[in-house]
Structure 1
Amino acid sequence: MAIEERRARDRAARHRLILDTARTLAESEGWDAVTTRRLSTEIEYSQPVLYKHFSNMEAIAEALAIDGFGELAQALRTARTSVGASESPLIPMAHAYLSFARDNPALYDAMFLRATKLRFAAEDTPAPMMDAFNELRAAVATVAGDRDVETRTEVLWATLHGLIMLDRGGRLRPQHDGDRIELLARQFG
């Protein structure tokens, strides 16, 4: 049993190494730099070893996206629970969302821009994706009253995503982040 456990640990460590290396490369050089050849060189394993863990580059990006949703959910949860009972969590959550996207641009791309087989609002939606949505939903629920929480959450998420995309393209005035977020929060309150 000890040998099987060690092999399982080694396999899990290689799996994590592949993902961490892919993420580091994507964040520093962009997704075009993340190839199986480059990964195998960086982690010092052959390409067939990579394929034992992931069928292709899309599978690697998909696994990183799921990781990213888990990280985003945690950032949103921290922001949501950091406010007092009488305060709206929308403003700190919006700031947390924008910070996450800015601090992890390649990971954010894997989550929202790269083609994957990941689907929202489906029976097979991975738990980390649902967790991220549910954190936003919990914040919206505090201010929605009797209005449709699900749709309002989708609109909030879409708006935050739009702000990130416009910001990345240099289309928004950076010194007005706070004003935009306060206006957004007022629309939901």
Structure 2
Amino acid sequence: MATQQRRERERAQREALIVSAARDMAEADGWASVTVRRLAERIEYSQPVLYSHFAGRGAIVDAVALQGAAELAEALERARTGAEEGEELEAVAQAYLDFAAANPALFEAMFALAEGLEFGPNAPDVLKAGFAQLYAVFAPLAGDRDPETLTETGWAALHGLAVLGRDGRLRPGLQQDRLAILLRQFVNG
């Protein structure tokens, strides 16, 4: 029994090492630099060892994306629960934008590169946890509108600000102004 537990622990440690190395490589040099061969060299294991943990690069990206989703959910929850009463929406929105700016490659993995992650009702719990934090701040603003649709719309708007800002598609230095306009639309909607 102890041998089996040790093997499981070592396997989990190798998986964590692979995911961590992929994240580090992507943040440093972009996702194009993350290949199974380069990962194997970086962590000093053979490619077959990586394939024994993940079906391929896509599965590694999915694992990184799930890890990122958990971190984002935690950041949103901290922002929501740490905000002054009445300032939760702004705090969560700012936390979302800050997370995207601080983790560009992780954010890309989560929302552009992940292939095996399903959103919606069948999403993994970690994705639902992030949506729940958004729902907690947008749903009270719904009035006679569907709260889930309002939350999805708020999320889409925040996400658009994050991605367009990250990609240099918006004029620099105006993110706070854009965020204030966006939030007023929801609060006064």
- TM-score under structure 1 normalisation? 0.94
Q: In the alignment, which residue of structure 2 is the partner of 1:178?
A: 176
Per-residue CA deviation, residues 118-173 of structure 1 (Å, 9 max, x unaligned), is 111132x1111111111100111233234211011111111111112211222223
What is the total number of aligned residue pairs between the two structures?
187
CA pair 18-10 structure 1, distance change in 2 beyond 3 A: same
* Stretch deviating more after TM superposition (108-117 or 97-106): 108-117
Contact 1:88–1:143 (8 Å) recurs in 2: no
2:55 is aligned to: 55
Contact 1:18/1:39 (8 A) holds in 2 = yes
**1:145-184 alignment runs, 5 A limit:** 145-184=143-182
User: Quick one: which of 141, 144, 159 aligns to 1:143?
Assistant: 141
Compared CA separation, residues 115 and 19, structure 1 to 2 (3 A): closer
Pairing 1:1-189 to 2, within 5 Å after superposition = 1-85=1-85, 87-123=86-122, 125-189=123-187
CA shift for structure 1 position 115: 4.7
CA contact (8 A) 1:136 1:157 kept: yes
5+ residue gaps, structure 1: none
Runs of at least 4 residues off by over 3 Å: none
Asked if structure 1 preserves the Cα contact closer than 8 Å seen for 2:65 and 2:114, the reply is no
Partner AA of 1:78 in structure 2: R
SS of corresponding position for 2:6:
helix
Cα distance in 2 for partners of 1:38, 1:117 equals 22
- Structure 2-normalised TM-score? 0.94
1:150 counterpart SS class: helix
Report % sequence identity. Answer: 51
* Counterpart Cα distance in 1 of 2:125 and 2:133: 12
Which ranges in structure 2 are unaligned for 5 or more consecutive residues?
none
